[in-house]
Structures are given as C-alpha cells and as structure tokens.
Chain A
C-alpha cells in the first residue's frame, strides 16, 4: 500500500515489536483457551466483539469497552504507537481481549483487559499474558498500569502488589486520564510469575487451527437475552 506524505505525518513512529508466541491454557472447566496475538486484518471481529459491551455500566464494562474500541481503531488506523493486541479464544470464539503499548524500548503501558466469558478467570490469565509479553518477549523493564474498576484494582494492584508511583506524577504518568499510576517491575513480576502466568507452548497444530478464524461471541453473560444472530 502506498502511504502518502500527509498520512505518514499522521502516524506515530513505531518500534518493531517481536511477535507473541501463542500458548494454550487449560481452564477450570477443562476448556482450552488459545492465547495469540491479533492481526490488524481481524479488526472487524474484534470491534464486533467489543461493541455490545459499551452499553453495560455494571463493573465499568462501558468505559473499558468504549476505550478499548477506540484503542483498537487507533491500532488499526496507525494512530497509536507500538500497540499490540492479544486475544483468548475458546473453539475460535473470542473469550477476552487485552491490549497494551510500548512507551519506549524499556517501558510498557498496559491499556485494557476485557473479559467476555466470566467465572473462569479469563481476564486474569490474559492480563498475565500481556505482562509476560512486555517483560519476557519484548524484554522491557517495567509496565505502567491503571485500573478503571474495583475488580481491576483487586486483580492487578493488590494481587500483583504493584508499586504505587502516584507520588512521581507527572514523571510516571499513564495516559489514561491521569489517574494514579502503578507499576509492575521485573522484580515484582518474577515474584508472582509462577502463581499468575499459565499456559503451555507450543500449541498443538490442531488447537492452534481452532483459533485461526476468530468468531465474535453469540451471547454475553453481561447482557441477559442478547443473541448476536438476532441482531
């Protein structure tokens, strides 16, 4: 594709990111969730998945979904620097999405974690995968994190014992609204890794194939009565 001069000026400078190697996690119900990096051409199904949740105020799904929707579009249209998107898929159906970006080579900035299927700790597993990518595959030193819901605060700030850098504002400043920034350092990550990061590699070809073509969920536990096929 030819990118004209003006478009070039609109795009942020990019760091070439290493790809996240896919993995498979066995969930409590025995289901297999393939976690892999999403591709830009999959934007349609990703937006389709996120969109219905923008109308769900409970547990702050609305703000998380709305912001993630914009961030995914920003990623697709090259308006966010160094963003990556991971998806968790069970039998090809999207069970959760996480996205993040790199501030620079050393610092990561976690954006959002959106769980579709609830009750199986899918959000927790995908958040851990995102941290794994930042610290292990992209070799970063730390990740800046904010929470937009009490559930997020419990899962990340408390369970990971994140470092509070509120007092270092504005030097350490997450871009999501200027709320207090917490940090996952390599040391903290190493301390919790065995209890937080799951998944097996390589993913057997047969399983990986199930996640080749992503499907948007037919139903959402957050939206009683919703059926995609009826829309």
Chain B
C-alpha cells in the first residue's frame, strides 16, 4: 500500500527576519530540505509544491507566493498551490501534501510554510491575526486572539483550579527546551524565581491580557520550515538515500463554529478532539501510544487544553502532570520538545510545518543534546487555527 514518507526537512531560525524577503526565507528552508534529502541536483523530481502562508498579501504585499517559490528554486514545471488556513495553514499544507501523494496526483511533494510578520508593529500584527475572527460578531467588538486566550484561561482556572503557578511551570519547561533548539526565537531560559516567585515578577512578567502574562504568550516571529515527502512505492524513492524516512501514519482535521460564543461549552475544543480521533484512527493507535507531541501553544493554556482534548490527560488533570514534570523532556510524555510556539516562536504559516519538522527530527534521533526524546515511536502534532475553529492533527512514525 502506498504510504507517505518524509525524506527531507529544512528550517530557518525563527525570530526577526523582517530584513528579508518572504520568498527568499521560504527558499532558504526549502533549500535546506533539498540538501537534507540529498536531491539538490535532482530537485526537478518534485511534482508538487504546496506553500503555507497566512499574511503574504496583508503584511508583505505579495501574492502568487507558491509559483514564486517554484521559480526561486528552479522547480518548474512542478504544480504549485498556496494553502491559507489561518494559523493552521502549515498543518493543512502537510495534509494537502499527504493527500496529493495518497491520491496519486503526485509522487514527490515539497511543503513549505513561511511568514514574515515583523515588518509591521505589534499592534498591526495583532490586528491582522484578529482578521480571522468573525467580522461582525467578534472583530467589530475589538476582540483579538490574546483576548480569547485570556478569557479561555480565566474560565479554565475557575472551573479546574489551574493557577498562575501552573502556567509559569509550563513556560519554564518550554523555555528549557527552546534554549536548546537552534531554530528557536527565544533561546533565553526563564526560571520560576524570575517569572513567578520574585517580588519583581509582576513587572518582569507583566500582564498582557489578564490573567495571561508576557511569559504565557508566544512571540511574534518570522521564519520558515519545509518538508519533502515521497510516495513509499514510487520509483523516485531511490533518490532519497541521505536519511532514513519517517512516515506520516495519521492525518485528521476538523472544524468548529467560527464564533466561539456559539459553542455550548467554550472550554470544549471539539475540532481538536475530532481531528485527533481521525488521526488516531488512520494510524491505528491511541493516545497511549504517542511518545511525544508538539501542541499549538500560542497561549500557554492551549498546551493544557489540547493535551486533554486529545486524550493525554483527563479534563482538568493536565495541571497535575505539569506539576509532576510528566511533560518535561525527561518525563513520561514530553510535550513541545522544540520549545513550542511559546519559545520557538509562531510564524503563522510556518508553524504547522515546523511542528512536523520537529516530529521528524525527534524520530530520526537528531534533536540536540538535552532535548532528544528517548527512543520515540510515534510523534503527534496539533496545529490550531482560529480560536479552535480549524484544527489539523498529524501523527508520524519511524516505521
């Protein structure tokens, strides 16, 4: 049976790359993937290019990015399309690449996600992201994603007894991983003393959208990540001798109401649980089989909520796992080994691709010292779009 192998990965640093052109940055990550796959010279074997990006037109005044990337890399006459699915664009692009191969439309696919957001001031960036909210019922009232993150956190705290201390513990864990990740935007460790215990913590770790503080939010980042996929039964597999392939064994996506207020229980992230169920079913595994995961923690509460929705922990119980260090790199179920969006950064279109990049790196055993998961079997990525209205889950395996 045809399977989808990831045969090459590439990544730029995440951070402030606003001096660079969007397609150049994507080209850099793509070139890294070509080199990693060992097909720079034979790169025209790529049949299909799928690009993930959310803000090219809005922030960079640039359209037609997919065809531009093809030309930049000399990949003509490959098919090329752009996927825009909000912050889940990357996960969707991976899914589209998977579908293209499984349908027989393509044998070799390049998936590249990228975003340059720091060309505009922070408030313009926040406004741009908020444009994914309902224009009349949400955006018009001044709602932003940080506001949703804050309200969600407040509600979760009231219902399940989550504390600011629990959130700080998570942040310390993510920064511990991010510090060791050469691609991470924020490679500065943070400590419980610094962000929670010290009398200066209130200023150093100030409120952004109460109860969320600075160290509870992801930074605004630029960057790109790239994957090369090949059909396992294709004769073109012979070109990929550089690295042992990692397989995409499960993919699922689902949507929820555009307006958060239309959900029966705003703390229930149905699109997350449904997308995970689909991916588990396709892979023939359950939450218990997952060795590590990359979860979309644009706001740190989301790592907690998503980990419960996908069945890692009972609802309201993830905080106990955090307190016991279960999700640390040395724990039983490491989460956000890359530093997560919190420390690695969140260049919207790149994020979902970067999450899968991390799965491949871990499954190959290539993660840097101090952040390599011990003998992982299955890695899982959850890429969260909107405020949970469009979610993509990907499961990868060594076998």
Interface residues in chain A, defined as those with a beta carbon under 8 Å from any beta carbon in chain B: 25-31, 58, 119-121, 125, 128, 150, 154, 194-200
Contact = CB atoms under 8 A, between A and B. Distances in A.
Interface in B203-232: 203-207, 214-215
Interface in B115-133: 121-122
B215 A200 contact: no
A200 B186 CA distance: 27
Contact of A119 (B186, B191, B205): B186
Given A154-B121, A154-B122, A29 B190 contact: yes
User: Which of A25, A28, A119, A125 has the most chain B CB within a 10 Å cutoff?
Assistant: A28
B399 interface: no
User: Which of A125, A194, A198 has the most chain B CB within a 10 Å cutoff?
Assistant: A198
Contact of A150 (B121, B188, B193): B121
Contacts of B19: 58
Given A30-B193, A200-B200, 17 more contacts: A25-B200, A26-B193, A26-B194, A26-B200, A27-B204, A28-B190, A28-B194, A29-B188, A29-B194, A119-B186, A120-B188, A125-B203, A125-B204, A195-B206, A198-B200, A198-B204, A199-B200
B188 to A, nearest CB: 5
B188 A28 contact: yes
A200 B202 CA distance: 13
Give the interface size class of chain B. Answer: 20 to 34
B199 interface: yes
Contact of A198 (B122, B188, B203, B214): B203
B345 to A, nearest CB: 12
Contacts of B198: 26
A119 B204 contact: no
Given A119-B186, A154-B121, A154-B122, A28 B205 contact: yes
A155 to B, nearest CB: 11
Given A120-B188, A154-B122, A28 B203 contact: no
Contacts of B206: 195
Contact of A26 (B122, B186, B189, B201): B201
A200 B204 contact: no
Interface of B: 19, 121-122, 186, 188-191, 193-195, 198-207, 214-215
A154 B198 CA distance: 26
B191 A28 contact: yes
Nearest to A200: B199
Contacts of A25: 200, 204
Contacts of A150: 121
A27 B193 CA distance: 9
A148 B355 CA distance: 38
A120 B188 CA distance: 8
Contacts of A121: 204, 214
Contact of A194 (B186, B188, B189, B202): B202
Contacts of B200: 25-27, 198-200
A30 B175 CA distance: 13
Nearest to B18: A58
5 contacts: A26-B204, A28-B205, A28-B215, A195-B206, A198-B203
Contacts of A199: 200
Contacts of A198: 199-200, 202-204
A128 B122 CA distance: 21
A120 B199 CA distance: 16
A194 B198 CA distance: 14
Contact of B194 (A27, A128, A154, A195): A27
A150 B200 CA distance: 26
B15 to A, nearest CB: 10
User: Which of B121, B204, B207 has the most chain A CB within a 10 Å cutoff?
Assistant: B204
B53 to A, nearest CB: 24
Given A119-B188, A120-B188, A154-B122, A28 B202 contact: no
Nearest to A120: B188
A197 B200 CA distance: 9
Contacts of B191: 28-30
A28 B343 CA distance: 13
- Closest 3 A/B residue pairs (Cβ): A30-B191, A198-B203, A26-B198
Contacts of B121: 150, 154
B343 to A, nearest CB: 11
A30 B203 CA distance: 14
Nearest to B121: A150
